[in-house]
Amino acid sequence: MALSDLFKTSSSAPTQAHMVVPTVPSAIPFGEIAAWRGSGASRAMAMSIPAVAACRNLIAGTIAQLGITRSRGGSSIEPGLLLTQPDPSSTWAATIERTVDDLLFYGSAAWLVLARDGVSTQFNPGGLPVRARQIPVTAVTQLVSETVSDYDVVKGYEIMGQRVDRNDVIWFDAGNEGVLTYGARAIAQAYDIEAAARRMATVDIPAGVLQNAGHELGPDEAADIVASFQEARQNNSVAFLQNVTFDRVDINAHDLQLVEARAASATECARLFNVPVALIGASPTGNASALLYSNIAQNSAQFIQQAVGPLLSAIERTLTLESVTARGQRVHFDVGAYLRTDPQASVDYVTSLLAAGIVTVDEARSFLGIAPQGQTDPNITPGRV
Q: Binning pLDDT at 50, 70 and 90, where does residue 170 land?
A: very high
Q: Is the pLDDT of residue 40 over 50?
A: no
The amino acid present at 318, given as its one-letter code, is T
Q: How confident is the model at residue 289 (pLDDT cuts 50, 70, 90)?
A: low
Residue count of the chain: 385
CA distances from 81 to 9, 85, 127 (A): 19, 5, 14
- What is the per-residue pLDDT for 279? 81
pTM for this one?
0.71
When mean pLDDT is compared over 5-9, 206-210, 285-289, 342-346, the highest value belongs to 342-346
Q: What is the pLDDT of residue 163?
A: 93
Domain ranges of the chain: 1-202+254-337, 208-248, 342-385
Q: What is the pLDDT of residue 16?
A: 37
Whether residue 295 is predicted with pLDDT greater than 50 in this model: the reply is yes
Mean pLDDT (whole number) for 14-25: 43
- pLDDT for 218 equals 73
Distance CA 369, CA 347 (A): 11
Residue 56 pLDDT greater than 90, yes or no = yes
Least confident of 26-30, 149-153, 168-172: 26-30
The letter for the amino acid at 86 is P
What's the rounded Cα separation, in Å, for the pair 245 and 248? Answer: 10
pLDDT in tens, 320-348: 998 899 888 999 888 765 655 556 667 77
CB 363 within 8 A of CB 380: yes
